[in-house]
Amino acid sequence: MIDQKVINLYVVFEDMSKNSAEDKNEFTIDIERLEDYKFRVEFDKETMGELVTDESEEAGGDETGPNPSRLLAVSSLNCLMASLVFCLKKKRVELDSLKGSVTGTIERIDGRLRVTRLDVTIKPEIDSADKKKLKKCVDIFEDYCVVTQSIRKGIDVEVEVEAV
């Protein structure tokens, strides 16, 4: 049974860099509860399709989709890998392959579960002649990852619940 009540949660990502208004980019993602802890996420661009999220069995879900903690972890990993790709392309380095993994740690803090750590491993496969260029990218690419840097600095989140 689908619960027809919808709670709108507005998450506002503040422009932490204090740049001009032209540097601000906003997006809206909608989510609707399907049942229990299962939600359908609809992105603001049709080409992105839908995503179903769910909680773990321990939390009462059916594990039919990733839970928010896993989405946070993969968002950081994906952003880091994309930032590395961007840098390598700028330096004209051809990637033979690129793989990565992320391990998230969840701990209880003040009685509540929190993601306390993300351990990321990225494995680029490149020609040995490009190792120096890779090193230069490794030194700077993290600074260009919007998600990881936002997590590190903290994100202002404003929540409003509107009963319908």
pTM of the predicted structure, to 2 decimals: 0.82
pLDDT digits over 85-143, tens only? 999 999 999 999 999 999 999 999 999 999 999 999 999 999 999 999 999 999 999 99
Give all strands of the β-sheet with 38-42 in edge-to-edge order: 30-35, 38-42, 50-53
Average pLDDT score, the chain: 88
| Domains recognised in the chain with CATH numbers | 68-153 (3.30.300.20)
C-alpha of 60 from chain center: 23
